[in-house]
Amino acid sequence: MMIAVASGKGGTGKTLIAASLALSLGKAILVDCDVEEPNAHLLISPQWQLTKEVLLPFPKVDLAKCNFCQECQRVCRFGAIVVLADQVLTFPELCHSCGACALICPSKAISEEKRKIGEIRVGIRNGIKLMEGRLQVGEPMATPIIRELKRWLDKEDSTIIFDAPPGTSCPVIHTLRATDYALLVTEPTPFGLNDLRLAVGVARKLNLPIGLIINKAGIGDRGVYDYAQEQNLPILLEIPEDRAIAEAYSRGKSLVEAFPEYKKIFLGLFEKINLQAGENVRKAVGSSKR
Amino acid sequence: MSVKQLAVVSGKGGTGKTSLAACFAALGPGLLIADCDVDAANLHLIASPMILKKQDFYGGAKAEIDPELCQRLGICREVCRFDAVIFEAAAQPVRYRIDPIACDGCGSCVEFCVSRAIKMIQPKAGEWYRSETRFGPMVHARLGIGDENSGKLVSMVRKASLKLADEKGLKMVLIDGPPGIGCPVIASLTGVDYALAVTEPTMSGIHDLKRISELCRHFFIPVGVVINKFDLNPLISEEIKKFAETNHYDFIGRIPYDPDFTRAMVQGKSLMEFNSSPVSNTISEMWEYIKNLIK
């Protein structure tokens, strides 16, 4: 079972929910895909077991072999390689590491070198395995790290929870794709609703079953509730706006750690998700038989 | 006189960037608003822009295989480093197809396909707008759901903002940035005169502040730090202040937790328009201070 926790809007409580769910289950893999600002480790406090660099190849030109034909420049769609009269400039931050320049070069003057754009850390704590992607500051591309995280995942039979980054663009898509369930966390405010609509759009595009969690319930207005009803989206859990929760979070405490009664609530949530995801599978099998 | 650019950023999402940017927009005067959080934009919910001009945005290209021309040699699958070429062995007849989500748009497959069966298509990936609001002109955008290249769209918003501000003789472009430190954030920050980092006193808040301020330093952009909801954890607030001072970032000030921000948002207003309170006074003072810094 692979559950992706996402939201559109930032700061709605994705990481708090993802970590609390993992800790309640007792045995789970938590994958922090918010590689630009990974925060799950602050709530899990794992013992780090290993670190692996995420390396991306970029072109290196051997000027002795180069005949300045400009084929590499032509084939590169990202402007990462520019051929001048007697030299070739490369821009590693623009390079997407597709390898086309090296393949096309008729004089075999281009080889590839690797550079670090971030790292993956794996840590454990009481049955929880945390896998964290971390983009190096100054590097623009988050997606290769998310791809690498997923490549590394050994799927065993345990539950895998993905903590998605905010937004709705490429890093979010790459987190959500090939998971079984989109658990969308929102807050009942106009900003929350606006971004929830976008997140629902992403999840639907990927054909994922969707469940909602409303965090900070009690603030704002009823817009999110009306939308959920109108779209027939189940609200699986409401967490009240509560200063005590916010204070505990500020100190790096998850819901279940600060308020043990939440463990039962999260186990109940997990059951609902399983049920809904199971139905979804049955529906899909049923329709393909028809 | 050149147009000054101020970017409101945060690293961590949900710290109050947009609520604070809306306050500054209301205080102005003489600025243009650029909403650069193009994949989850919110400022329009407060600024209620009247759209004057709408333009389509074409993002990254995607490969597409023409099954008529494809000779099923599988070269595309060999050259693709993004696992975007899917071989459908169960299809009748067997075929290759591109997974548009995985496709990075590099065009290697197009280049090496001997049957010339692959071409790049560039679908519409969003829209951007030039608008008028009660605070002044606004440039904003909307990335298509799940589309890519938010950085490219941010750059278009930035460019249009600068041009428009210049035409209208405005002094400043106020940029509401996206969360994170990746490509759209870098696109929001390059070339700005000042970055205002809005944080909150939580362990995540300070962790993320360190990364976003390091990013600004990487691009030689001066940083000011504002703590929102500072009273949530005074100890961490103090730690943030020390962090700012040790690293020679400007410490701009502290805003207490105030439910009026949400109440104002529900009414489509900035806090400045909602009420006059000690909090709104604090924000006015901050704004004067910031304007002086980047004059």
One domain for residues A13 and A102: no
Question: Rounded to an integer, what distance in angstroms lies between the CA atom of residue B139 and that of residue A168?
Answer: 20
**Mean pLDDT lowest among A2-6, A251-255, B108-112, B142-146:** B142-146
- Nearest residue to B19 (alpha-carbon basis) of B267, B251, B211: B267
Question: Rounded to an integer, what distance in angstroms lies between the CA atom of residue B63 and that of residue B79?
Answer: 13
User: So what's the pLDDT on residue A147?
Assistant: 93
Instruction: Please judge whether A142 and B183 are an interchain contact, meaning their C-beta atoms are less than 8 angstroms apart.
Output: yes
Confidence of residue B279 (pLDDT cuts 50, 70, 90): very high
Q: Which residues of A touch B205 (CB under 8 A)?
A: 250
Computed over every residue of chain B, the mean pLDDT equals 95
Whether A68 contacts chain B with CB within 8 A: no
Query: Would B4-59+126-293 and B62-121 be classified into the same CATH topology?
Result: no
Instruction: Please judge whether B202 and A249 are an interchain contact, meaning their C-beta atoms are less than 8 angstroms apart.
Output: yes
Q: Which chain A residue has its CA at the smallest distance from B61's CA?
A: A77
Instruction: Please judge whether A103 and B203 are an interchain contact, meaning their C-beta atoms are less than 8 angstroms apart.
Output: no
CB B14 within 8 A of CB B228: no
Question: Rounded to an integer, what distance in angstroms lies between the CA atom of residue B100 and that of residue B146?
Answer: 11
Q: Which chain B residue has its CA at the smallest distance from A148's CA?
A: B82
CB B164 within 8 A of CB B137: yes
Question: Rounded to an integer, what distance in angstroms lies between the CA atom of residue B44 and that of residue A9?
Answer: 14
pLDDT of residue B78 exceeding 60: yes
Instruction: Please judge whether B181 and A36 are an interchain contact, meaning their C-beta atoms are less than 8 angstroms apart.
Output: yes
Percent helix / strand / coil, chain B, rounded to 5: 35, 25, 35
Q: Which residues of A touch B61 (CB under 8 A)?
A: 77
Smallest Cβ distance to A9: which of B10, B13, B101?
Answer: B13
Instruction: Please judge whether B214 and A219 are an interchain contact, meaning their C-beta atoms are less than 8 angstroms apart.
Output: no
Smallest Cβ distance to A98: which of B106, B233, B265?
Answer: B106
Who's near A8: CB < 8 A, 6+ residues apart? A166, A167, A168, A184, A186, A194, A195, A196, A197, A198, A199, A202, B40
Smallest Cβ distance to B215: which of A10, A138, A170?
Answer: A138
A 133-172: CB under 8 A from B? 135, 137-142, 165-172
Q: Which residues of B touch A174 (CB under 8 A)?
A: 101
Q: How many CB atoms lie within 10 A of CB A62?
A: 13
Condensed to tens digits (0 to 9), the pLDDT of residues A148-161 reads 999 988 766 689 99
Question: Rounded to an integer, what distance in angstroms lies between the CA atom of residue A72 and that of residue A87?
Answer: 13
Question: Rounded to an integer, what distance in angstroms lies between the CA atom of residue A276 and that of residue B265?
Answer: 34
CB A58 within 8 A of CB A113: yes
Smallest Cβ distance to B146: which of A35, A141, A202?
Answer: A202
Whether A45 contacts chain B with CB within 8 A: no
pLDDT of residue A283 exceeding 80: no
Domain-terminating residue out of A115, A147, A166: A115
A 79-138: CB under 8 A from B? 96-100, 103-104, 135, 137-138
Mean pLDDT of A250-277: 96
- Nearest residue to A15 (alpha-carbon basis) of A202, A278, A253, A243: A253
Secondary structure (3-state) at B294: coil
Identify the DSSP state of B169: T
One domain for residues A71 and A203: no
- The distance of A252 to chain B (nearest Cα, Å) reads 6
Confidence of residue B19 (pLDDT cuts 50, 70, 90): very high
Which amino acid belongs to residue A13?
G
Which amino acid belongs to residue B241?
K
A 225-284: CB under 8 A from B? 243, 246-247, 249-252
CB B257 within 8 A of CB B232: yes
Question: Rounded to an integer, what distance in angstroms lies between the CA atom of residue A54 and that of residue A72?
Answer: 25
Smallest Cβ distance to B179: which of A166, A173, A202?
Answer: A166
Condensed to tens digits (0 to 9), the pLDDT of residues A216-240 reads 999 999 999 999 999 999 999 999 9
Supply the angle between the helices A14-25 and A262-289 in degrees, to the nearest 10.
90
pLDDT of residue B96 exceeding 90: yes
Give the CATH number, domain containing residue A130. 3.40.50.300
Q: Regarding the domain with residue range B4-59+126-293, which homologous superfamily does it belong to in the CATH classification?
A: P-loop containing nucleotide triphosphate hydrolases (3.40.50.300)
One domain for residues A151 and A93: no
Q: Is A52 exposed, middle or buried (0-12, 13-18, 19+ CB in 10 A)?
A: exposed
One domain for residues A127 and A183: yes
Total tally of structural domains belonging to chain A? 2
Q: Which residues of A touch B12 (CB under 8 A)?
A: 10-11, 37, 39
Domain-terminating residue out of A115, A130, A145: A115
What is the per-residue burial (b if ≥16 Cβ within 10 Å, else e) of A128-152? Answer: bbbbbbbbbbebbbbbbbbbbbbee
- The distance of B169 to chain A (nearest Cα, Å) reads 32
Question: Rounded to an integer, what distance in angstroms lies between the CA atom of residue A126 and that of residue B101?
Answer: 36
C-alpha distance from residue B186 to each of A57, A165, A242, B145 (Å) = 21, 16, 35, 21
Smallest Cβ distance to A168: which of B145, B201, B233?
Answer: B145
**Domain coverage including residue A237:** 2-54+117-289
Which amino acid belongs to residue B145?
I
One domain for residues A60 and A37: no
Instruction: Please judge whether A189 and B266 are an interchain contact, meaning their C-beta atoms are less than 8 angstroms apart.
Output: yes
The pair of structure tokens assigned to A277 is 């995801």
User: So what's the pLDDT on residue A289?
Assistant: 43
One domain for residues A109 and A124: no
Q: Is B56 exposed, middle or buried (0-12, 13-18, 19+ CB in 10 A)?
A: exposed
pLDDT of residue B159 exceeding 80: yes
pLDDT of residue A290 exceeding 50: no
Instruction: Please judge whether A251 and B11 are an interchain contact, meaning their C-beta atoms are less than 8 angstroms apart.
Output: no
One domain for residues A204 and A99: no
One domain for residues A85 and A49: no
CB A94 within 8 A of CB A78: yes
Interface test with A, best of B83, B114, B140, B183 (most A CBs within 10 A): B183
B 266-295: CB under 8 A from A? 266, 268
User: So what's the pLDDT on residue A284?
Assistant: 65
Question: Rounded to an integer, what distance in angstroms lies between the CA atom of residue B252 and that of residue B246?
Answer: 14
Q: Where are the domains of chain B?
A: 4-59+126-293, 62-121
pLDDT of residue A53 exceeding 70: yes
Instruction: Please judge whether B179 and A194 are an interchain contact, meaning their C-beta atoms are less than 8 angstroms apart.
Output: no
One domain for residues A170 and A250: yes
Instruction: Please judge whether B182 and A191 are an interchain contact, meaning their C-beta atoms are less than 8 angstroms apart.
Output: no
Condensed to tens digits (0 to 9), the pLDDT of residues A242-261 reads 999 999 999 999 999 999 99
Complex-level ipTM: 0.93
One domain for residues A46 and A189: yes
- The distance of B110 to chain A (nearest Cα, Å) reads 10
Condensed to tens digits (0 to 9), the pLDDT of residues B119-144 reads 999 989 999 999 999 999 999 999 98
- Nearest residue to A14 (alpha-carbon basis) of A264, A260, A255: A255
Confidence of residue B149 (pLDDT cuts 50, 70, 90): confident
Domain-terminating residue out of A74, A92, A115: A115
Instruction: Please judge whether A15 and B151 are an interchain contact, meaning their C-beta atoms are less than 8 angstroms apart.
Output: no
- The distance of B167 to chain A (nearest Cα, Å) reads 31
Supply the angle between the helices A190-205 and A223-231 in degrees, to the nearest 10.
20
Condensed to tens digits (0 to 9), the pLDDT of residues A130-180 reads 999 999 999 999 999 999 999 988 766 689 999 999 999 889 999 999 899
Give the CATH number, domain containing residue A110. 3.30.70.20
- The CATH number assigned to the domain with range B62-121 reads 3.30.70.20
Whether A218 contacts chain B with CB within 8 A: no
Parallel, antiparallel or unpaired: strands A110-125 and A128-135: antiparallel
If phi > 0 it is left, if psi is from -120 to 50 it is alpha, else beta; for residue A216 that is left
- The distance of A15 to chain B (nearest Cα, Å) reads 10
Who's near B4: CB < 8 A, 6+ residues apart? B171, B172, B173, B193, B194, B294, B295
Instruction: Tell me the pTM.
Output: 0.94
